[in-house]
Amino acid sequence: MSRTSSESKSTRRVRVLAAAVLTGLVVAGTPAAAATSLDRTTNVVRQSPDEGLSAELAEIRDELKRNHRPDAVQKSLDELVAKDTFPAALAAVQDRKGRTRHYTAGVADLTTKAKVPVDGQVRVASNTKMFTSVTVLQLVGEGKVSLDEPIETYLPKVVRGKGIDGGKITVRQLLQHTSGLPEYVRYLPGVFSARNASYSPQDLLKLAFAREASFAPGTSWEYSNTNYVLAGLLIEKVTGRPLAEAITDRIIKPIGLRHTYWPAKGDATIRGRHPQGYGSEKPGGKLVDITDQDPSRAWAAGQLIATPSDLNRFMSALVDGKLLKPAQLAAMKHTVKATGMPAGWEYGLGLVKMPLTCGGVAWGHGGDIDGYETRNGVTEGGRAATVAVTALPATRDTMQHVIDAMDTALCSKR
């Protein structure tokens, strides 16, 4: 269990200055033995005529206090492992100046007991929806897509079924989960019996459209991954490029997400340093390593692999207006009540607004896939945090504890 930090220049300067000042106190006529006396050292500093030096010493004292303060983020991750029995937890917390602290707890591999890699790659699941939504909204900003146009305009004769009509479902309703389209994931074989099964987007839609619509478009809210499979097909149709290429060239490369990638269909592994992901076939059952699995079952709704710090970088770029024009960012942040999500959470266009215990809100999403869960957000003030655990929560309480760890990371003063 550990914490590391990307040390800032100012922190290094304080440490160097501290060494220099402490050395100077001894050399400047004070006997070495006296340097161990708090009273004598205090007298030397008090008699110094250099007011600048006094200010620097005050800064050093403040830095030392911060460094010795109990770290609430590390404690929350330790509890996720010790009390909630997640094999591992890892987090990245980015402060308002862009400096990042990394945290780990538990073990990366239950068999070998290997250490959790700092900022390791994980399957980020439904955080992919933010990337898919941003790509659609970029096309809106380019005048190639209209949010209030029926999906039928772009994907004719694709959206069909009992109570399902693509001419009555808008692009906005897809991105906001107000379309009423049934959830295809409910009808997928479990990962334990079909971890290597490959699916096309059409396969996934076929599972959904064999069922009746949940409600008339625009009359309610229900989370459905089916919406984002259609959003992915929309992107491919309008850009004329594979979804992976569109997201990579429009988002991943421009903002420098060096450890984020779209695994190809059939690429069941995680390329970089990563903790193993675990799951059980029934609640409370024995944990089994399910790190390797074909990612195509998630596609535009959840296929990406990334690190916690890359997710922070993405969310920061998003709220800073580096990925979308103001009108499209405002549309993305226009939320509706989200039944079934934690209390107070509201859903925009692939973006969740979450109230914080310290006041204000965070913007993010989160993701759940067999083996991994992530919770993340960025505040309007620029603080960002991503927490990942290496198994899905077995109960609502454990799920809430992961959310609480994210809240702690975003509300911590450190």
Look at residue 127 in the predicted model and tell me its pLDDT: 98
Model confidence at 209: pLDDT above 60: yes
Name 293's Cβ contacts closer than 8 Å, sequence gap at least 6: 191, 195, 196, 268, 370, 371
Give the pLDDT confidence of 187-206 residue by residue, as tens digits: 999 999 999 999 999 999 99
Instruction: Report the pLDDT averaged over residues 65-70.
Output: 50
Helix, strand or coil, per DSSP, at residue 369 = strand
Q: How many CB atoms lie within 10 A of CB 298?
A: 25
Model confidence at 36: pLDDT above 50: no
DSSP codes, 6-29: ---HHHHHHHHHHHHHHHHHHHTT
Record the tokens describing residue 204, joined without a space.
């996934």
* Paired residues of 346 in beta bridges: 337, 353
For 237-338, strand residue ranges (E) read 278-279, 288-289, 305-306, 336-337
Look at residue 233 in the predicted model and tell me its pLDDT: 98
Look at residue 55 in the predicted model and tell me its pLDDT: 58
Q: Which among 146, 169, 174 has a CA at the least distance from the CA of 156?
A: 169
Look at residue 285 in the predicted model and tell me its pLDDT: 86
Letter string b/e over residues 210-232, b meaning 16 or more CB atoms within 10 A of that residue's CB: ebebbeebeeebbebbbbbbbbb
Record the tokens describing residue 125, joined without a space.
């699941």
Query: d(Cα 187, Cα 104) in Å, to the nearest integer?
Result: 35
Give the pLDDT confidence of 159-181 residue by residue, as tens digits: 999 999 999 999 999 999 999 99
Look at residue 351 in the predicted model and tell me its pLDDT: 98
Give the residue numbers annotated as catalytic, written as ranges: 126
pLDDT band for position 3 (cuts 50, 70, 90): low
Q: Provide φ and ψ at 267, rounded to 5°.
A: -85, 90
Query: d(Cα 162, Cα 212) in Å, to the nearest integer?
Result: 5
pLDDT band for position 157 (cuts 50, 70, 90): very high
pLDDT band for position 65 (cuts 50, 70, 90): low
Query: d(Cα 34, Cα 38) in Å, to the nearest integer?
Result: 8
What is the pLDDT of the chain when averaged over all its residues? 87
* Paired residues of 377 in beta bridges: 385
Helix, strand or coil, per DSSP, at residue 308 = helix
Q: Provide φ and ψ at 46, rounded to 5°.
A: -65, -30
Q: Which among 332, 150, 151 has a CA at the least distance from the CA of 229?
A: 151
Instruction: Report the pLDDT averaged over residues 39-55.
Output: 41
pLDDT band for position 57 (cuts 50, 70, 90): low
Letter string b/e over residues 152-161, b meaning 16 or more CB atoms within 10 A of that residue's CB: bebbeebbeb
Look at residue 284 in the predicted model and tell me its pLDDT: 78
Instruction: Report the pLDDT averaged over residues 323-351.
Output: 97
Query: d(Cα 9, Cα 25) in Å, to the nearest integer?
Result: 24
Name 208's Cβ contacts closer than 8 Å, sequence gap at least 6: 161, 181, 182, 183, 184, 187, 224, 226, 229
Residue with tokens 């220049």: 9
Model confidence at 338: pLDDT above 80: yes
Instruction: Give the lowest-confidence range in 14-18, 126-130, 150-154, 285-289.
Output: 14-18
Residue with tokens 């800064």: 59
pLDDT band for position 26 (cuts 50, 70, 90): very low
Query: d(Cα 302, Cα 176) in Å, to the nearest integer?
Result: 16
- Tell me the Cα Rg of the chain: 25
Domain covering 73-411 in this structure, CATH number: 3.40.710.10
Q: Where in the chain is the domain with CATH 3.40.710.10?
A: 73-411
Widest pairwise Cα distance in the chain: 90
Give the pLDDT confidence of 353-410 residue by residue, as tens digits: 999 999 999 999 999 999 999 999 999 999 999 999 999 999 999 999 999 999 999 9
Query: d(Cα 375, Cα 182) in Å, to the nearest integer?
Result: 25
Record the tokens describing residue 318, joined without a space.
């998003």
The burial of 413, by beta-carbon neighbours within 10 Å (0-12 exposed, 13-18 middle, 19 or more buried), is given as exposed
37 torsion bin: left (phi>0), alpha (psi -120 to 50), beta (else)? beta
